[in-house]
Amino acid sequence: MALFLGSYANKVDRKGRVSVPAPFRAALAGQAVHGIVAFRSFKEPAIEAFSLDHMTQMAQNLEELDQFSEERDDLATLFADALQLALDGEGRIMLPQALAAHAGITDTALFVSAVNHFQLWEPETYAKKSNSSRERLLSRGATVKVRPRAAQPGSVPGTEGER
Amino acid sequence: MALFLGSYANKVDRKGRVSVPAPFRAALAGQAVHGIVAFRSFKEPAIEAFSLDHMTQMAQNLEELDQFSEERDDLATLFADALQLALDGEGRIMLPQALAAHAGITDTALFVSAVNHFQLWEPETYAKKSNSSRERLLSRGATVKVRPRAAQPGSVPGTEGER
DNA sequence: GCTGATCCCATTGACGCCCATATAAGCCCA
DNA sequence: TGGGCTTATATGGGCGTCAATGGGATCAGC
């Protein structure tokens, strides 16, 4: 699973192209199947972007739902909305008009990590959402639990290569 | 899990680089995946820095939450703010402007242990926070519990080769 | 033939990599 | 135990490479 970190603002040129930040390209390069799939976020004014690999996995999870259930139908809608975006020789993608409009992106696109995938935002819009998220986290006293992994050789503190 | 001890003040050069203190580098060297991930502290004017290993574990725990839940979204914001900092051949990192600004770091960065990770402070700022922490500890009569773990050879802090 | 997309090339600036030096710390030996 | 030697750490600077960006040219579809 690719791990995305950070956020990067890149310019959309007059042809509608944007460079995918190099660190994100590096994370994508590790995937078995190369490619980016994007669709409109259904709850936010943003674009969701997954590696083709990850999208394939989500598709497989879909299969576990009942063929004609409402949930399956709804999720399938996401796939109908999804577009595969190709990287050009310089690592840029073409931002389709429909997606850009949904996110309100005009001249600058903010690539934002969502851990296992990433999003594209209009910078100002993201700043607001980011602030409110941080406030919620702070007031809720959010934590991310880290379970130590079992018996990890060499992980005993202080014993590694003294010099 | 890496154990960090002590605090070290190092200079930020005109290119925005700082040497990571050698003891911290040694602690990081024991990690499965090499690398440092840093982000703005929520509650303090400081930079939090984790090993990539530790960050990866946090990411995996996130995966157990529902893909589109609000909690996941909020926590993902942290990762969006995080940056992987590469060590150069001399063991230095580039301190991104955004992070340095949040911590008020200009020409000197104070590396401070936070046990399983570390922080970067502007020295003056840290001195103030340190004093008030110590006063609180004193007035509260705080203690630190040490639960001996079941027979884990070499895991007792402070027994390893002092130098 | 026109519109739009892909490919290719050029420019700029930032970042990574390499080398050099001084100080400080550790080590060895007398 | 003290002094000198060795080594690595911290720091500074130069240079090459790559990323981001812009523009022209070619190609395909309508």
pLDDT of residue B103: 95
C-alpha of B113 from chain center:
7
pLDDT of residue B31: 81
Comparing CA positions, the residue from A70, A1, A104, A139 lying closest to residue B67 is: A1
What's the rounded Cα separation, in Å, for the pair B152 and A8? 44
What's the rounded Cα separation, in Å, for the pair A53 and A32? 7
pLDDT of residue A146: 55
Tell me which of A140 and A22 has the higher pLDDT.
Answer: A22
What's the rounded Cα separation, in Å, for the pair B103 and B46? 4
A150 reaches B (C-beta below 8 A): no
Q: Evaluate if residue B25 carries a pLDDT over 50.
A: yes
Is residue B151 very low, low, confident or very high in pLDDT (cuts 50, 70, 90)?
Answer: low
pLDDT digits (tens, 9 = 90+) for B118-132: 999 999 999 999 888
Q: What is the phi-psi region of residue A151: left when phi exceeds 0, alpha when psi lies from -120 to 50, beta otherwise?
A: left
A6 reaches B (C-beta below 8 A): yes
Tell me which of A145 and B104 has the higher pLDDT.
Answer: B104
B34-43 core/surface letters (b: 16 or more CB in 10 A; e: else)? ebbbbbbbee
All residues of chain B having their beta carbon less than 8 Å from the beta carbon of residue A111 are: none
Tell me which of A90 and A162 has the higher pLDDT.
Answer: A90
Are B78 and A137 inside 8 Å of each other by CB?
yes
Nearest CA in chain B to A132: B74
Q: Evaluate if residue A117 carries a pLDDT over 70.
A: yes
Q: Which of A3, A158, A162 faces B3 most closely, judged by CB atoms?
A: A158
All residues of chain B having their beta carbon less than 8 Å from the beta carbon of residue A147 are: 57, 61
Tell me which of B119 and A157 has the higher pLDDT.
Answer: B119
pLDDT of residue A65: 77
Q: Which two tokens stand for residue B114?
A: 């936070």
The answer to whether the C-beta of A35 is closer than 7 A to strand C is: no
Contact A33, A50 (CB under 8 A): no
Q: Which of B1, B43, B163 faces A162 most closely, judged by CB atoms?
A: B163
Is residue B158 very low, low, confident or very high in pLDDT (cuts 50, 70, 90)?
Answer: very low
Tell me which of B141 and B63 has the higher pLDDT.
Answer: B63
Tell me which of A147 and B88 has the higher pLDDT.
Answer: B88
Does this model's pTM top 0.85? My answer is: no
Query: What's the mean pLDDT when you consider all of chain B?
Result: 84
Q: What is the mean pLDDT of residues A110-129?
A: 95
Query: What's the mean pLDDT when you consider all of chain A?
Result: 83
C-alpha of B132 from chain center:
20
Least confident range of A133-137, B52-56, B102-106, B159-163: B159-163
All residues of chain B having their beta carbon less than 8 Å from the beta carbon of residue A159 are: 154, 160
C-beta pairs of B21-27 under 8 Å, 24+ apart in sequence: B21/B111, B22/B91, B24/B111, B24/B118, B25/B87, B25/B91, B26/A160, B26/A161, B26/A162, B26/A163, B27/A157, B27/A160, B27/B2, B27/B3
Comparing CA positions, the residue from A54, A43, A34, A45 lying closest to residue A117 is: A54
The answer to whether the C-beta of A16 is closer than 7 A to strand C is: yes
Q: Evaluate if residue A163 carries a pLDDT over 60.
A: no
Is residue A144 very low, low, confident or very high in pLDDT (cuts 50, 70, 90)?
Answer: low
Bridge partners (DSSP) listed for residue A44: none
Q: Evaluate if residue A114 carries a pLDDT over 80.
A: yes
pLDDT digits (tens, 9 = 90+) for A24-70: 999 998 777 778 999 999 889 999 999 988 888 888 888 887 777 88
pLDDT of residue A37: 93
pLDDT of residue A151: 41
**Residue with structure tokens 């130590």?**
A148
pLDDT digits (tens, 9 = 90+) for B1-12: 788 999 999 999
pLDDT of residue B142: 65
**Residue with structure tokens 């802090």?**
B157
- The 3-state DSSP class for residue A37 equals strand
Q: Which two tokens stand for residue B144?
A: 């630190």
pLDDT digits (tens, 9 = 90+) for B29-49: 878 778 899 999 988 999 999
Bridge partners (DSSP) listed for residue B18: B93
